[in-house]
Each structure stands twice: as C-alpha cells, then as structure tokens.
Amino acid sequence: MKKYSIIALIAWVFPTMTIAQETTLKIATFNVSMEALNYVAHKRGEAPNISGKTLTKALASDHQQIKNIAEIIQTVNPDIILLNEFDNQNNDHQDLKAFISHYLNKNQNGKTAIDFPYYYQGSVNTGVNSGMDIDGNGEKGKLPGDGYGFGYFPGHFGMALLSKYPINVDQIRTFQHFKWHDMPNALMPIDPESNKAWYSQQVWQKLRLSSKSHWDVPVEVNGKTIHILASHPTPPVFDGPEDRNGKRNHDEIRFWQDYISPGKSSYIYDDKGNKGGIKAKQSFVILGDLNATTVDGNAIKAGISSLLNDDKIQDAMPQSQAGEKHSPENAHGKYHTAFWRMRVDYVLPSVSGLNINNSGIFWPAETDESYRLIKDRKASSDHRLVWLELTTKN
C-alpha cells in the first residue's frame, strides 16, 4: 500500500485549503533618519524645509546618504522592514516608490539588489495641524508644535513597511485618530506648580495618543499570518516639568501591551470604529523606534520595562561589539541601537507562533570597510538597523 504524508492527505481531501509552511525569515526595523536631509540644509544656513520636498529632491539626485541607507538594507537583506522617519508627502507614495526602484532595486557598492513588491505607508499625525495651542506657547495652529504630532508638514517623520511577502491590505488596522484621554488611566500631564492639567480641556479632549500612528499590518507568510505592530512614539524630551512628551511616550508604548492583552484591549478602537485588540495566540512582531530604554534617558521606564517583561513577548536583546566599543563606559553599550548611546529600536516577536534563531544590530567596527556607512549622521542615520531571524511554527 502506498504511504502518504499527513499533509499530502489533507491537501488531497481539502484541495483548496492553505497549509501553513514552516518559514525562516528576517524582520528588521530601521530609523533611516531622512530628517537628516533637512538638518544638513539647515546647518548650511538655509531655512528649514517645511514643504516636504527635500526628500523628493534628494531621491532624484543619486544622494549618497540614501545610497548608503539602501546598501545597509541590502547587506542585511530583511524580508520585512519598518522604516521610521521616512516622509510621506501627500500620501502619494512617490518618494517610497522612488527609494525602492532607484536605490533598493539597484546594487549599491556591489551589494545584491533587493526588491520589496509589497509595502504599506499610511498617514500619520506628524504635521497634521490641530488648529489648537498644543505646545502651550499662546499661539493656535502654528506648526510644528501644534500638530497632532510634531512636524512641519503632514507626513513628516512618517513610517513605511516594506515586505517580500503579501500584505493583507483589507485587514490593516490603524489607530491614528485614537484619543489619548480614551485610554483608561492615561498619564495626563499635570503642571507641578499649579497642580492642574497642563493641557486645556479642549486640547485634552481632542489630542490623539499616537504622535505618528499605530499600525497593525497583517503579512501573509506561506499560509501563516504575522501581524506587524508598527509605531514610533514621541521622544520623551523637549518638554518641561509636566513631562508631557515622557507621559505620551509611556502611553504610546503601553498601547501595544494593552493591544496584545485580550483582557485589557476592549477600550481600543481603530480608525474604522472597530474595537478591541489582537486575538489570543495570533503571531505578531512589535517593530519600531520606541524612543525608550529601561536603563538610560528620560523615558518613564515603567512603560518599556512592562512591555519587555510581558510573557507574551520574546526579547532577543540584539547586540553588537562595535556598539559596546562605542560606549566603553556603559555596561549596556552592546545593546545600544543609536549613535547617541541608547537602546531605542526594537523587534519584539510574540511567543505564539514564532521561534527566534538569531538577531543582530548593523554596527560595523571602525576597522571594517563598511564603517563608512555609519560613521556619522550624514553617512546614513543616527540609528542602527536592528534585525531578528525568525522561524514560523504552527
């Protein structure tokens, strides 16, 4: 009698059923710091760009910084990557398409070209004018401080997700418009001198939680769905004793912990009005520059610490020897993901459905030929690309 494997028999009985295959893939996050293009122009004595066209012009000019960023991505060769601080002018995706076709699709310095046939680049809160006095300077509707997120134009400091695997566009959930005050026990900023709310009642009722956006992007990997949970919380600095940015950073991070916890997520609503978080046992990866670390900086550490210690999450704690040498005085230097000596960029997979094989931070040593790619901010970014190699499991 001829023997058949269980999978073969299932496929024969249910020919239209999709059988999830075990797949090994690499998932990365990279704050590409395209804002550095505006920074360089400003340092030359020019007015800061507020039109959003700086990136467009740079992409059309065979720009060395962008070529270096593309070379870094080609070197690591991720299957899925989140780009933070990639502007999204007018939501037309032309800059992202140009980056893919003119830089990633072309070999950089001998590296193999890389293609991402699928991408998602939704709108964000940065530079979206609220018409209110959010920054408390007495003026209403003046960018960048009165945007729902700090920015000079809509889409400034945006995000983009690139993938070699199909994205289930119809099932994407975004939380750009979720109001901060709708989070139970939200850390409302308080003026320590008056002991009153720092924001006016009008601002507090309308202020959105996410400084950019929170996205749940389902990616279909050989019959298995992996939910990419992408965000870029505000830096916990550039404020005062009320710590409004620190508290917002904390709650932006806490949002994800509530989202992955069925017992805590009922208050959450997405931009289509659907409520709740991710279902139990679904596979996910939290990606992004979270602007917080458990050991350094001004962030309220309870937020990031609670997330990293959640029993539904795996933290591989990627490291690099070059990062360690960059901060010899800091015992945590090997975990740093930014030139300015902190761990802020994270790839955090779920325990459910995913195994970690390997991890790393792209941080070449000074003696390495590729050090030229990260030697300073003008070379590429002040952040490092962080990656994990994962294997899906049924």
142, two tokens: 């003046």
pLDDT at 181: 98
Tell me if residue 103 falls in helix, strand or coil: helix
111, two tokens: 């590296």
Q: What is the CATH number of the domain that holds 272?
A: 3.60.10.10
**What residues contact 244, with CB distance under 8 A and at least 6 apart?**
189, 198, 199
Residue 299 placed within a domain: yes
Residue 201 placed within a domain: yes
pLDDT at 17: 52
Residue 17 placed within a domain: no
Share of the chain above pLDDT 70, in %: 91
Residue 346 sits at φ, ψ, to 5 deg, of -130, 145
Share of the chain above pLDDT 90, in %: 86
Place of tokens 């990293």: 308
Distance, CA of 79 to CA of 24 (rounded, Å):
10
pLDDT at 202: 97
Residue 338 in this model has a pLDDT that exceeds 70: yes
Residue 311 placed within a domain: yes
202, two tokens: 């009008």
Q: What is the pTM of this model?
A: 0.93
Residue 94 placed within a domain: yes
Q: What is the mean pLDDT of residues 66-89?
A: 97
pLDDT at 47: 47
Q: Quote the number of domains for the chain.
A: 1
Residue 10 in this model has a pLDDT that exceeds 60: no
Amino acid, single-letter form, for residue 366: E
Looking at the DSSP bridge assignments, the partners of residue 355 are 391
Angle between helices 301-308 and 244-259 (to 10 degrees): 20
102, two tokens: 């003119």
Looking at the DSSP bridge assignments, the partners of residue 163 are 80, 118
Residue 325 placed within a domain: yes
Residue 214 placed within a domain: yes
| Domain span at 76 | 24-392
Residue 348 placed within a domain: yes
